Chain A
């Protein structure tokens, strides 16, 4: 087994492990806001899997596609998590901003 194979297996295993951690967190946590935190390991897993493809193939078409997917996840996932939290607060409270009684300092208009 070469050093390249070890790197590929390690990156692939780490990437899949990150996805499993994200799934476990999603299943175990309570509430949408707690579950949202476990989208971050999924994004990291995507980057690690793209790294595994790069380590195995080098510069190639599939490596480029893996990089595009990982880059898109890196950009889109935090934005979507923010949008999800915002939509959830609007659905619950009618406004996404901090409300009185939440223990957050609210600025007077």
Chain B
């Protein structure tokens, strides 16, 4: 296991607090957690691609980051309508 794979494991473990906030807290706080999870997830894929030496896997990170952004905008639209 090289240092990049260790970094990937740490980043994946860092998703757990985000999941905890999503499950236990309000919709608005969960939206913040999903935003952070999207950032960490994209970076974890990028670090894994570098650690495995497989450049095409980096495309997943390039796609995941904008899709996470677009998905969050939809969640925020729902949040605006919740009163």
Residue ranges of A at the interface with B (Cβ–Cβ < 8 Å)? 9, 12-13, 15-16, 19-20, 22-24, 26-27, 31-32, 35-36, 38-39, 42-43, 45-46, 49-50, 53, 56-57, 60-62, 65-66, 68-69, 72-73, 76-77, 80-81, 83-84, 87-88, 90-91, 94
Contacts and interface: CB of A to CB of B under 8 A. Distances in A.
Nearest to B56: A61
B33 A35 contact: yes
A35 B21 contact: yes
Contacts of A38: 36
B50 A53 contact: yes
B83 A91 contact: yes
Contact of B65 (A35, A73, A83): A73
Interface of B: 3-4, 7, 10-11, 14, 17-18, 20-21, 26-29, 31-33, 35-36, 39-40, 42-43, 46-47, 49-50, 55, 58-59, 61-62, 65-66, 69, 72-73, 76-77, 79-83
Contacts of A88: 28, 31, 79
Contacts, number: 141
B58 A16 contact: no
The secondary-structure label for the interface of chain B is helix
- State the 3 A-B residue pairs at the shortest beta-carbon distance, nearest first: A65-B58, A32-B28, A27-B17
A18 B15 CA distance: 14
A19 B4 contact: no
Contacts of A94: 83
Contacts of A53: 46, 50
Contacts of B65: 69, 72-73, 76
A35 B32 contact: yes
B11 A19 contact: yes
A80 B81 CA distance: 17
